[in-house]
Chain A
Amino acid sequence: MSIIYILWLRQLKRYSRSRARIFASLAQPLLFLFAMGFGFGPTFAKAGGGSYIQFLAPGIIAMAIMFNAVFSGVEIIWDRQFGFLKGTLVAPVPRLQIVLGRTLGGATVAMMQGAIVFLVCLLAGFRVQNLALVPVAAVFMFLIAVLFAAVGATVGSLIEDMQAFPLIMNFLIMPMFFFSSALFPMKNLNGILTALLRINPLTYGVDGLRGAFTQAFEFGAVLDFTLLAIAAAVLLAVGSYFFSKIEV
């Protein structure tokens, strides 16, 4: 336990000491929130969808969590490059504990980033319908964070080189964001798009978050939670497996 704790703490310290990173990683979600939220707002309302900010905000919070979690996982590449990783891998500790500590730390940082975006959404006019359900939202935020921190850990374990990273962002992470229910409702989509959304675990994360905040579930809390938890557990296992195979 103490190993997981100390590596979790390390992620938090690194986060709190890097103000530049805190601000930099807010830029993208806020750009989406304001440009799309206010840009498409009138059209969305005219089409009968109601307030677009109300619809979009949970998607943007999920986005902030997702990107930060992936980045924290990919920090393995930097740690490998700057030698820190070697030091942890020759320590008399099972690698599972190392990867769990890192991943939980990265997930916690991502959640904090998500919480900041949530507060900004409130300033932009987002309203929570039932405050009692905020803890449910926190559970979904946590699951999204763990899931994508595990994706990041997998990527970080498999690639040695930062040059491959834009490839991962453009061909895996960005598509997962766009082909989720973050930006548009699932109704009346064509078959291919519907299928893509349904196999994407982020769809269920966004739906759970949106449901908890605004009571507008597409699938319901239980299904969202179950699928998301299974996906997070599977990816955590995959990430741990590839982390255990790292040779330095």
Chain B
Amino acid sequence: MSENNNSGGEKIIVVKNLVKTFKDFRAVDDISFEVEAGKIFGFLGPNGAGKTTTIKMLTTTLAPTSGAVLLDGHDPRRSPLAARRSFGIVFQDPSLDSELTARENMKLHAVLYGVPWSGQSARIEAALQFVGLWDRRDSRTKTFSGGMKRRLEIARSLLHTPRILFLDEPTLGLDPQTRNHIWEYIQTLARERKMTVFFTTHYMDEADRVADEIAIIDRGKIVASGTPAELKRNANAGTLEEAFIALTGHAIREEEASAKDRMRDMGRIWGRR
């Protein structure tokens, strides 16, 4: 938290004293951090630690109780539209329309993000080529595997050439081959397009491999931050996983199923999508 002051370049994500309380529960408890432009930033923590709540506040879908956020200079509360233009996001679960084809999903997204009509087709083709889905452009996304959907969402989030990309557990539930592919895309984006990547994951080996900087959150507070090497050194651990457990303890965290989760289960029982 402290060592990156005044060092390096532009701070594209700035979080200061961010707090979110639900009734008497402090889900996010006074956290502060900064992310430098062009870096890959891993945001790690056990279930229920406050990761998703933080991402929601950063991406304008949840209002903070107090504290400040700046995304590429924009305050998500005061100018939500400008803040939204500055980032792309891939959610934990798919957010595609399964009845539409890959290209139609891309087109819809391009219009939502105000990509000029004249440039849309070229950008859509380039993005689909990038993730290797151009051949499947006219298939409905309900026929796609989990990995293909995730790739399509990454392609979609690039259409408006955002400076920041948020990825909430981008490799959850995917096989090792697909996971490697996805990290390759992400690293290419950070390297070649100078995109800033903010991701969460439970796979510590992946975070160790790809992240330039990591912050670990637990019980709403940031308990450690730094490069993967620094975290391992400070915790006297051989792997990031050991460091993570040393910092956050062994207890298993319980999370209550939300109404949405329960409904998703019902949807499965009824055989919809």
Contacts and interface: CB of A to CB of B under 8 A. Distances in A.
Interface string A138-163: 00000000000000000000001111
A91 B113 contact: yes
**SS class of chain A's interface: helix, strand, loop or mixed?**
helix
A80 B97 contact: no
Nearest to B117: A2
A84 B60 contact: no
Given A6-B107, A81-B263, A90 B113 contact: no
A87 B113 CA distance: 11
A186 interface: no
Interface stretch (B86-94, B212-220, B227-235): B86-94
A49 interface: no
Q: How large is the interface on B (under 10, 10 to 19, 20 to 34, 35 or more residues)?
A: 35 or more
Contacts of B262: 161
Nearest to A81: B263
A90 B60 contact: yes
A25 B23 CA distance: 43
B108 interface: yes
A127 interface: no
A248 interface: yes
A14 B99 contact: yes
Nearest to A86: B95
Nearest to A246: B61
B263 A93 contact: no
Contact of A82 (B85, B259, B273): B273
Contacts of A5: 111
Contacts of B263: 81, 160-163
Contact of B59 (A2, A14, A90): A90
Nearest to B267: A81
Nearest to B114: A92
Contacts of B211: none
A10 B98 CA distance: 11
B204 interface: no
A87 B109 contact: yes
A6 B108 contact: yes
B245 interface: no
Interface residues of A, number: 32
Contacts of A13: 99-100, 104
B246 interface: no
Contacts of B98: 82
A83 B61 contact: no
Nearest to A2: B111
Contacts of A160: 259-260, 263
Contacts of A86: 61, 91, 95
A18 B99 CA distance: 9
B127 to A, nearest CB: 15
B91 A83 contact: yes
A90 B93 contact: no
Contact of B260 (A17, A80, A91): A80
Contact of A90 (B61, B97, B259, B267): B61
Contacts of B95: 82-87
Interface in A78-123: 78, 80-94
Q: Of residues B94, B104, B112, B267, which shows the largest number of chain A Cβ atoms within 10 Å of its Cβ?
A: B112
Nearest to B101: A13
A3 interface: yes
A13, A83, A92 pick with most chain B CB within 10 angstroms: A92
Interface in B216-273: 259-260, 262-264, 266-267, 272-273
Given A82-B98, A85-B95, A90-B84, 8 more contacts: A3-B112, A7-B108, A80-B260, A82-B267, A84-B95, A91-B113, A93-B112, A163-B266
Interface of B: 59-62, 80-82, 84-85, 89, 91, 93-100, 104, 107-109, 111-114, 117, 259-260, 262-264, 266-267, 272-273
13 contacts: A2-B117, A6-B108, A6-B111, A14-B100, A81-B260, A81-B264, A83-B96, A85-B95, A91-B84, A91-B109, A91-B112, A161-B263, A162-B266
